[in-house]
Amino acid sequence: MSRSFVLAAALVFAGTATSASAAKLDCEMTFSMAGWSAFYKTASGNGTVRCSNGTSMKVKISAKGGGVSFGKSEIDDGIGKFSEVYDIEDIIGGYATAEAHAGAVKSTSARVVTKGPISLALSGKGRGWDLGVAFGSFIIEKR
């Protein structure tokens, strides 16, 4: 085999691998979390991320921040939808968040958090009570 043929074949293969891995994925996270706030807000929980290419990952989630916030809450059966994900590993890390919230007994929550080009739209139904404004981070880690 000639050296140029081997080089050309390697370049074609590399181009194929790059374009195949560059496909955008539809990824969704199901989760549950609970937390409290008294000026400082904290919550933690667990979830599972599943993507359209068949990959999945169990994750640990946490939210931390400060502001004028008081309460205690719990979210069960939460759903998060990611945008701009090309590999399931892209979802790991810290997302910026800001929220205004008020709820009593049973409430519904929705928020969008961002990490660079990746956005995560979160929604869920929960129990508890809360009132305030908080800023901080939403963190996703492998479990």
Confidence band for 77, pLDDT divided at 50, 70 and 90? confident
Closest CA to 24 of 86, 115, 81, 83: 86
Establish if 104 belongs to a structural domain: yes
Mean pLDDT of 30-49: 87
Establish if 134 belongs to a structural domain: yes
Closest CA to 125 of 111, 108, 139: 108
Establish if 126 belongs to a structural domain: yes
Establish if 131 belongs to a structural domain: yes
pLDDT at 136 over 50: yes
Mean pLDDT of 49-70: 88
Number of domains forming the structure of the chain: 1
Residue span of the structural domain in which 117 resides: 24-142
Mean pLDDT of 31-40: 82
pLDDT at 134 over 50: yes
| Greater model confidence, 9 or 114 | 114
The pTM score is 0.75
Establish if 56 belongs to a structural domain: yes
Establish if 15 belongs to a structural domain: no
The torsion angle over the Cα atoms of residues 20, 21, 25 and 29, rounded to 10 degrees, is 150
| Greater model confidence, 38 or 93 | 93
Percentage, residues of the chain above pLDDT 90:
41
Position 36, amino acid: W
